[in-house]
């Protein structure tokens, strides 16, 4: 039986939680303030990137430690986790969307719609908190 390095996963989870808290703090801004203030937009962009990066790192670490099928791209990570009952199948598409959004943040930053970033700011922290809970529940098993 393959054993999970709980300590390293919990360290990543703690970092992810810190990023989510910062995103939740940024949620207090109205869409108009968000669109008008480059500082709010820039902080949001950065913390969305860090949160999504650490979310994917958690998934990769689980996949590597359990010696599961290797992902070809970031959006494969949620599918592999769902296939192995680490996250619910019903959440797979949402987490794939988040993985693809991470790629947009990193590679398509010149073309990102600020309203799309704001939508992610308002929605993603909830999904990412759920992901953390799925992982914690899995670790406890």
pTM, whole model, 2 decimals?
0.92
Give domain status of residue 1, yes or no.
Answer: no
CA distance 126 to 134: 13
CA distance 125 to 48: 9
pLDDT mean over 32-42:
95
Total domains in the fold of the chain = 1
3-class DSSP assignment, residue 90: helix
3-class DSSP assignment, residue 130: helix
* CATH assignment of the domain containing 125: 1.20.120.580
Q: In which domain, by residue range, is 18 found?
A: 6-140
Instruction: Kindly report, residue by residue over 21-32, the tens digit of the pLDDT.
Output: 999 999 999 999
pLDDT mean over 99-120:
92
């Amino acid at each position: 039986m393959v054993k999970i390095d709980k300590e390293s996963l919990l360290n990543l989870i703690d970092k992810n939680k810190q990023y989510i808290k910062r995103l939740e703090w940024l949620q207090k801004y109205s869409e108009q303030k968000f669109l008008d203030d480059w500082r709010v937009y820039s902080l949001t962009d950065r913390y969305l990137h860090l949160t999504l990066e650490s979310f994917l790192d958690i998934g990769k670490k689980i996949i590597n430690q359990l010696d599961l099928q290797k992902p070809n791209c970031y959006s494969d990570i949620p599918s592999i986790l769902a296939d192995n009952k680490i996250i619910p199948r019903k959440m797979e598409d949402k987490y794939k969307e988040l993985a693809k959004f991470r790629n947009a943040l990193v590679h398509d930053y010149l073309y990102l719609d600020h309203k799309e970033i704001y939508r992610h700011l308002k929605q993603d922290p909830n999904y990412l908190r759920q992901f953390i809970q799925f992982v914690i529940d899995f670790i406890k098993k």
